[in-house]
């Protein structure tokens, strides 16, 4: 199995990355230097004004590391990859399946099955762990709607039905998401998902963690030779990583949302870690961003037993395993795409 390597996140503004032998050297404006051997890394993510030497970019491309550039606030700008890798036969099969609405519906059904059950597990855990601190009736009602979605998914569905169930599941889950915020503090509340720009602290955190999740899933798909743009549930739209968004549906609730919830509930993020612009748009400051990044890395190193391949893996590798399973399904070696069920 592939090793779970680290991602180097560079958030210090004005830093410069260069290559020295097998190492990445980061020079900070203060003059301080840090070195990271390339072989322990599987990617570099640069936030804002971070420069990279062309030789470092070439070296990373050669070693299969992608270097992504995001704005200081985490909006994706560009990435540098090595030569197109993998297998044209696989990619063609992916396009064929994406063109075939019935095949797409089958894959979409698997993915939504993952999303529905994983969201349900998040809610059920909350009922189990904090029965006195939440409005149990509301959360239980949401669980039973998700049960209904799960029941519908026991038989085949069309692509439109799958999409309908996805919407219902998302609305139901986000409808009670505020209940999962246990810290009753005026600065952390959830009134529904707001993006571009986020208008409250919780949405600001969610958007940022979703960006990290997209980056990681996209890399995993590319590493296994798939085209991250050609999705099954998310249909083609120029510039949108459809397949990465598809696969994210399985992971959002327990990888991203629960991370945000625990940062809030444990008081690891605080009100003064966020800034509000005149328009009402909310941004996090450097310190909060660092807190989220290190929590994300820690979350990825948590070990689980993969429910389908039955191997103990760090959660961060689950993206790679799912990409491989998708690969194997498209190549005709599995009779379906087995989603990641989080237990």
Partner 1 sequence: MDEADVLPLSALQHFLYCPRQCALIHIEGVWTENRFTAEGRVLHNRVDSGCSGKRGDTVEDRSVPVRSNELGLYGVADVLEMKAGPEGKRIPYPVEYKRGSPKIEDWDRAQLCAQAMCLEEMLSLEIPEGAIFYGKPRRREKVVFDNDLRDLVKVKCLEMRSMVKSGLTPPAQYGKKCKNCSLTGQCMPTATRKGKVEPYILKGLED
Binding site for partner 1 (CB under 8 A): 1-2, 85-87, 89-90, 110, 113-114, 116-117, 147, 150-151, 153-154, 224-225, 307-310, 324-325, 328-329, 331, 333-339, 341
Query: Distance between CA 289 and CA 294 in Å, rounded?
Result: 9
Nearest approach, Cβ of 221 to partner 1 (angstroms)? 14
With respect to partner 1, which residue has the nearer C-beta, 146 or 206?
146
Residue 100 has, within 13 A of its CA and on its CB side, a CA count of 11
Nearest approach, Cβ of 141 to partner 1 (angstroms)? 16
With respect to partner 1, which residue has the nearer C-beta, 8 or 325?
325
With respect to partner 1, which residue has the nearer C-beta, 223 or 295?
223
Query: Distance between CA 43 and CA 148 in Å, rounded?
Result: 40
Nearest approach, Cβ of 160 to partner 1 (angstroms)? 20
Taking Cα atoms as reference points, which of 256, 253, 233 lies closest to residue 244?
233
Nearest approach, Cβ of 329 to partner 1 (angstroms)? 8
Nearest approach, Cβ of 86 to partner 1 (angstroms)? 5
DSSP state string for 259-286: HHHHHHHTT-S-GGGEEE-TTS-EEE-H
With respect to partner 1, which residue has the nearer C-beta, 34 or 328?
328
With respect to partner 1, which residue has the nearer C-beta, 14 or 131?
131
Enter the DSSP assignment of 183: S
Three-state secondary structure call for residue 81: coil
CA angle, corner 276, sides to 69 and 274, nearest 5? Answer: 65
């Amino acid at each position: 199995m592939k090793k779970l390597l680290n991602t180097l996140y560079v958030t210090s503004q004005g830093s410069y990355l260069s290559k020295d032998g097998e190492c990445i050297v980061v020079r900070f404006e203060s003059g301080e230097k840090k070195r990271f051997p390339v072989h322990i890394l599987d990617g570099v993510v640069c936030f804002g004004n971070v420069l990279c030497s062309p030789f470092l970019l070439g070296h990373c491309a050669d070693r299969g590391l992608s270097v992504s550039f995001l704005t200081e606030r985490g909006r994706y700008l560009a990435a540098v990859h090595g030569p197109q890798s993998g297998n044209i036969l696989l990619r063609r099969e992916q396009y064929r399946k994406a063109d075939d609405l019935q095949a797409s519906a089958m894959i979409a059904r698997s993915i939504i099955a993952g999303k529905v059950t994983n969201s349900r597990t998040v809610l059920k855990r909350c009922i189990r762990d904090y029965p006195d601190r939440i409005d149990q009736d509301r959360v239980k009602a949401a669980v039973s709607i998700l049960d209904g979605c799960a029941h519908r998914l026991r038989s085949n569905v069309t692509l439109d039905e799958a999409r309908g169930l996805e919407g219902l599941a998302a609305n139901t889950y986000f409808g009670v998401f505020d209940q999962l915020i246990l810290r009753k503090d005026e600065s952390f509340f959830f009134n529904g998902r707001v993006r571009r720009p986020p208008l409250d602290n919780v949405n600001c955190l969610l958007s940022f963690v979703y960006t990290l999740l997209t980056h990681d899933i996209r890399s995993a798909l590319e590493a296994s030779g798939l085209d991250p743009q050609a999705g099954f549930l998310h249909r083609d739209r120029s510039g949108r990583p459809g397949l990465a968004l598809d696969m994210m549906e399985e992971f959002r609730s327990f990888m991203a949302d629960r991370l945000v919830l625990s940062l809030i509930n444990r008081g690891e993020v605080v009100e003064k870690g966020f800034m509000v612009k005149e328009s009402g748009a909310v941004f996090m400051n450097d310190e909060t961003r660092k807190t989220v990044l290190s929590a994300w890395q820690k979350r990825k190193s948590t070990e689980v037993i993969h429910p389908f391949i039955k191997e103990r893996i760090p959660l961060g590798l689950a993206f790679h395993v799912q990409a491989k399973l998708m690969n194997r399904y498209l190549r005709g070696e599995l009779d379906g795409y087995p989603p990641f069920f989080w237990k």
